[in-house]
Amino acid sequence: MILDFKGVNFAYGNHKILDQSDFSMAEGEFAYLVGKSGCGKSTFLQLCYFNLLPQSGEIKICGFSAKDASQKSIPQLRQKLGVVFQDFKLLSDRTVFENLSYILEINGYPRKKIRNRVEAVLSDLGLLHLKNAFPKTLSGGEQQRTAIGRAIVNEPLLVIADEPTGNLDPATSEEIISIFESINRKGTAILLATHNYDIIDTKGRIYKLEDGKIGRVKIKN
């Protein structure tokens, strides 16, 4: 399992978000996480990249356990993950190219290897012609494609996306979902949270977070 929750509890004060929750995902799986706004999807995803830690229970992600999450293991885990947000969170003072390249610079890759990898990812995402543009000059869809590029440039095992289409129109949302599908076809697992059932492609498995529990559901489109 790439991701495994067993009996996980998480609360903000008295406000329970996860209540003895179990959830697991296999390598290469595409999982949608649905549920009403406020049910705890973003909290759940933050537990998946150890931005939050559980009060009790077991979380294992890509071989890392929340029990021994440390200043050393958290950056190591994040190397295996890519995260995409609703509001893109791009670095506004860096170009599209630089928003991807800094991830590889952190790892100390040689400059030529960085350029080749970043340009290959940008080309796959149809962004190569925008490599020297700054985020504020891009459309929402282009900004989200750049953020997806940043999430996959390091070849993660799992991409976590929190309402990635929340700021986009329906046509652009569809385009973004098909990009996640093509990333998944190459073997990367995807965990995508949304409260918008319209964007869900039923090729993925659908899990619902409700009253602190996560269960698989079927949705007719």
Ligand X SMILES: Nc1ncnc2c1ncn2[C@@H]1O[C@H](COP(=O)(O)OP(=O)(O)O)[C@@H](O)[C@H]1O
Where does this chain bind ligand X (CB under 6 A)? 12, 15, 17, 35, 37-43
Q: Encoding tokens for residue 122?
A: 């940008």
Using alpha carbons only, what angle is made at residue 41 by residues 37 and 43, rounded to the nearest 5 degrees? 115
* Contacted by 75, from ligand X, Mg ion, none: CB < 5 to 8 Å by type: none
Sequence-distant (≥ 6) Cβ neighbours of residue 220 within 8 angstroms: none
Name the residue whose CB lies closest to Mg ion.
Answer: 42
Tell me the sheet residues that pair with 213: 210
Backbone dihedral angles phi then psi of residue 101, each to the nearest 5 degrees: -65, -30
Size, binding site for Mg ion by CB under 5 A: 2
Residue 12 interface partner, choices Mg ion, ligand X, none, CB cut-off 5-8 Å depending on type: ligand X
**Partners of residue 208 on adjacent β-strands:** 34, 215
User: Residue 32 or 97: which CB sits closer to ligand X?
Assistant: 32
Query: Is residue 86 within the footprint of Mg ion (CB under 5 A)?
Result: no
**Cβ pair 160, 83 in contact under 8 A:** yes
Question: Please, which residue, 142 or 162, has the CB nearer to ligand X?
Answer: 162
Q: Which of 21, 42, 99, 184 binds Mg ion (CB under 5 A)?
A: 42
Which residues bind to Mg ion, rule: CB under 5 A?
A: 41-42
